[in-house]
Amino acid sequence: MPGKIYKPEEIMAKLRHVEVLTSQGKAVMDAIRSIGVSDVTYYRWRQEYGGLKVDQVKRLKELKEENARLRRAVSYLTLEKLVLKVSGELWPKAP
């Protein structure tokens, strides 16, 4: 069952909340449980978003979306080129 998809701002808030709880002496695993995510999710978020500011996280998300869009465009053009190449081989030009 898939979980909730968090926005970057929500992720940053949850990471900060864990930092606050651990600085107050709470165990890391207890702090992670209190934000309602698994430990794997927390460590993945910390690896990806740790040390970034909110505006940097927004920019990172924009860049990921742009990268995905560009990858789709390149794959579409590559496929189109391949189709044109194959169709040219099937029907050679007249002499």
pTM, rounded to two decimals: 0.62
Instruction: Identify the residue whose tokens are 């990858």.
Output: 71
**Closest CA relative to residue 51, chosen from 86, 29, 94, 19:** 19
Q: What is the pLDDT of residues 41-81, one digit of tens each?
A: 999 999 988 877 878 888 888 999 999 999 999 999 999 88
Which sequence spans correspond to the domains of the chain?
1-52, 55-95
DSSP state of 6: P
Q: What is the pLDDT of residues 1-14, one digit of tens each?
A: 567 888 888 998 99
Which positions ≥6 away from 61 have C-beta within 8 Å?
Answer: 8
CA distances from 30 to 37, 40, 61 (A): 11, 14, 29
pLDDT at position 85 is: 83
